[in-house]
Amino acid sequence: QVQLVESGGGLVQPGESARLSCIVSGDIERISGMGWYRQAPGAQRVWVATVVPDGRTSYVDSVKGRFTISRDNAKNAVYLQMDSLKAEDTAVYYCNAVVISTNRRTGDYWGQGTQVIVSS
Q: Classify strands 46-51 and 57-59 as parallel, antiparallel or unpaired.
A: antiparallel
Residue 10 has pLDDT above 90, yes or no: yes
Per-residue pLDDT tens for 54-103?
999 999 999 999 999 999 999 999 999 999 999 999 999 999 999 999 99
φ/ψ of residue 59, rounded to 5: -140, 150
Which DSSP string corresponds to the chain? Answer: --EEEEE--EEE-TT--EEEEEEEESSEEEEEEEEEEEE-TTS--EEEEEE-TTS-EEE-GGGTTTEEEEEETTTTEEEEEE-S--GGG-EEEEEEEEEEETTS-EEEEE---EEEEE--
- Position 1 scores a pLDDT of 85
- Position 67 scores a pLDDT of 98
- Kindly indicate the confidence band of residue 13, based on its pLDDT and cuts at 50, 70 and 90: very high
- Position 22 scores a pLDDT of 98
Residue 24 has pLDDT above 90, yes or no: yes
Per-residue pLDDT tens for 31-51?
999 999 999 999 999 999 999
What does the alpha-carbon distance between residue 111 and residue 23 come to, in Å, rounded to a whole number?
9
Average pLDDT over residues 8-34: 97
Is the separation of the CB atoms in 48 and 41 below 8 Å? Answer: no
